[in-house]
Chains A and B, each alone.
Chain A
Amino acid sequence: MCYNHLDLNYMQNNSLIKVKNLKKSFGSVVAVDGLSFSVEKGSITGLLGPNGAGKTTTIQMLLDLVTPTSGEIEVFSKDLHKDREFVLSRMNFSSPYVSLPSNLKAWENLATFARLYGVKDVKGKINELADFFQIRDLLPRMTSTLSTGQLTRLNLTKSLLNDPELLLLDEPTSSLDPDIADRTIKLLKKIQKEKGVTILYTSHNMAEVEEICDRIIFIQKGKIKDEGTPEELVKKYGHEDLNEVFLTIARERIESNQNS
């Protein structure tokens, strides 16, 4: 990917995402309450928290799909809202909850998104990624006929069409059986290693998070509850694994709700 000299400043900076005092309220409901964090270049960062913690709203604000009530979001050292086109052309998103149009063939879906991202060699790029994800034989099939595992791979293929430097993944393995989930995790590690992609990752599977993430941000009630490497957090809470850390944090919320 080519950059002009004006775009080089973000490459010298190690944080790909910088979020400052981000807030989002829907009427009287505060979904995100003053989040500040950064995501380092080349890392896999887990954004974790119980249901309703504000993860999805945060991801949606990072994709400029939801307008923040206040706060700042900088991606590649650019203001996301002002430089939306610059930022979104260099990142991508995948979630099993967001399906590609079922009434198109897998190939047609990928070609549409490749064109939207301005990929020069549409056919070459799709074939390259289809080989990487082993979905060549699925390309002529209607998307509606694909299994959940095949759809996940198709979604991930879509998310790499523009050679993103930043990938936002919302529970990418949530609807997969353990075998396919394990393969997907290995694929993600391969993507990060081979393509140097920075990944922001949400999941409820703590074993998976422990395996894949370099750093974790725990959020609760829209605020950062804790952050660190998986090892640091396990040690800090004095537990055996990250799952117990998650349960401790989630139950603190339930207890505080009961007390209030």
Chain B
Amino acid sequence: MKLHRINALVIRHLYLFQRSIPRLMDLFYWPIMELVLWGFISVYIDKLNISGFNAVTVLMGAIIFWDLLSQSQKAVSIAFLEDVWERNFLNIFVTPLRISEFLASTMLLGLFRIIIVGIVMGVLALFMFKFNILVFGLYLVPFMLNLLIFGTTLGLFTTAIILRYGTSAQILAFGFLFLIQPFSAVFYPVSVLPHSLQIVSYLLPSTYVFEGMRQVIATGTMSGNLLLLSFLTNIIYLIIVVWFFFRMFAKVKEKGRLLKLD
């Protein structure tokens, strides 16, 4: 992998953010709106005085982590779609750029997005709802890393599908994540799900992050097994999806569809 090529693609996307209100809205507006909405819901639930349940801490943590997952998924899908919308694939892939470099640049963009959104949401949550994201201490690092990897994996999966079936499938870039939300135990523990859905839930790396988050809030620590399982499932899915993406890319080249993605 050549860093200058990864750097070129990252800078290209940063150029777009400089002057694009829709892109800035996508980065800040929706996460902030969600934070404000869920913040006030949490304050209301807290006023109901449900014993032993700190709504602000649980729900604020959940919404911030969910948004970080969403940002890393969108970084991959939107970076890919930008080139589809601008019909720029030919220009990009007649350079010596490797697919792995293209993917690495989208992952780096995902990292930028989650750091920026994480800081903005963290600061807002502190000032508006007195929720300190640093309550998670060093656990923040593996939490964010797992969400970044899983978001990238989901982004790659939706991108591979769009690559294969064209832009008629682009709705997946915006909606696919919501398909897994009910099973990721974002706002409630896995135990509330019916048994069969619990099995589905435990197949998702995100579930272990959200379960771990609640464990840290409740006990100040978390089981190492949850982190291990999160990393393990993440690595398995990442390997499968990267293979799937390369397979789809080869298929598209074989069918001559790389330049007809519209």
> Measuring CB to CB, which residues of chain A are less than 8 angstroms from any residue of chain B?
24, 26, 57, 60, 63-67, 84-86, 88-89, 92-93, 95, 98-105, 108, 111-113, 115-118, 158
Beta-carbon contacts of B179-194 to A below 8 Å, as 1s and 0s?
A: 0000000000000000
Please report the C-alpha to C-alpha distance between residue A113 and residue B9 in the assembled complex, in whole angstroms: 9
- Is residue B134 within 8 Å, beta carbon to beta carbon, of the partner chain? no
Q: Are B86 and A102 in contact (CB under 8 A)?
A: yes
| Interface membership of B97, Cβ < 8 A | yes
- Please determine whether A101 and B11 come into contact, CB atoms closer than 8 angstroms: no
Q: Which residue of chain A has its CB nearest to the CB of B82? A: A101
Check A65/B96 contact, CB under 8 A, given A60-B259, A101-B86. no
Q: Does the CB pair A65–B90 fall under 8 Å?
A: yes
* Closest Cβ neighbor of A117 among chain B residues: B95
Which A residue sits closest to B255, measured CB to CB?
A: A26
Contacts of A113 in B (CB 8 A): 8, 91, 95
Nearest CB on A from B79, distance (A): 12
Residue of B nearest to A105 (CB): B15
Complex: A88 Cα to B7 Cα, angstroms: 19
Chain A residues with CB under 8 Å of B259's CB are 60, 65, 98
- Taking CB atoms, residues of chain A closer than 8 Å to B8 are 112-113, 115-116
Residues of B within 8 A of A85 (CB): 96, 98
A119 to B: closest C-beta gap in Å: 9
Given A103-B16, A112-B11, A115-B7 in contact, is the A63-B256 Cβ separation under 8 Å? no
**With a CB–CB cut-off of 8 A, which chain B residues contact A115?**
4-5, 7-8, 11
- Pair B5/A65 contact, Cβ less than 8 Å: no
User: Do A100 and B5 touch (CB < 8 A)?
Assistant: no
Asked if B5 and A116 sit within 8 Å, CB to CB, the answer is yes
Residues of A within 8 A of B86 (CB): 99, 101-103
Residues 61 to 92 of chain B near chain A (Cβ within 8 Å): 82-83, 86-88, 90-92
Asked if B2 contacts A100 (CB within 8 A), the reply is no
- Can you list 5 A-B pairs with a CB-CB distance of less than 8 A? A65-B93, A108-B12, A111-B11, A117-B96, A118-B5
Q: Nearest chain A CB to B14's CB is how many angstroms away?
A: 10
Q: Which of A89, A93, A103 is close to B96, meaning CB atoms less than 8 Å apart?
A: A89
B253 touches which one: A26, A67, A93, A108 (CB < 8 A)?
A: A67
What residues of B have a CB within 8 angstroms of the CB of A108 in the complex? 12, 15
Roughly how many angstroms separate A224 CA and B97 CA in the complex, as a whole number?
Answer: 32
B94 and A65 form a contact (CB under 8 A): yes
Name the residue of chain A whose CB is nearest to the CB of B83. A101
Nearest-Cβ distance from residue B1 to partner chain A, whole angstroms: 11
Contact B256 A100 (CB under 8 A): no
The minimal Cβ–Cβ distance linking B101 to chain A, given in whole angstroms, is 9
Chain A nearest Cβ from B256, distance in angstroms: 5
Q: How far is the CA of A100 from the CA of B91 in the complex (A)?
A: 7
- Selected from A99, A118, A158, the residue in CB contact (under 8 A) with B4 is A118
Give B241-262 as 1s and 0s: 1 = Cβ < 8 Å from A's Cβ atoms: 0000000001001111011000
Cα distance A183–B5 when bound, in Å? 33
Which residues in chain B, 6-48, are within 8 Å of chain A measured between CB atoms? Answer: 7-9, 11-12, 15-16, 20
Task: Closest B residue to A68 by CB, please name it.
Answer: B254
Report the nearest B residue to A118, measured CB to CB: B4
When distances are taken between beta carbons in the complex, the residues of chain A under 8 Å from B258 are: 65-66
Give the complex CA separation of A95 and B259 in angstroms. 13
Contact indicator B12/A112 (Cβ below 8 Å): yes
* Chain B residues closer than 8 Å to A105, beta-carbon distance: 15
Bound CA span A102–B83, Å: 11
Report the separation of the CA atoms of residues A104 and B11 in the bound assembly, to the nearest whole angstrom. Answer: 11
Of the candidates B4, B93, B256, the one whose C-beta lies within 8 Å of that of A57 is B256
Given known A99-B87, A101-B86, A102-B86, contact A116–B97 (CB-CB < 8 A): yes
Chain A's closest residue to B256 (CB) is A66
In the complex, A26 Cα to B252 Cα: how many Å?
A: 12
CA distance A117 to B98 in the complex (A): 12
Smallest CB–CB gap between B77 and chain A, Å?
17
- In the complex, the answer to whether A63 meets B94 with C-beta atoms within 8 Å is yes
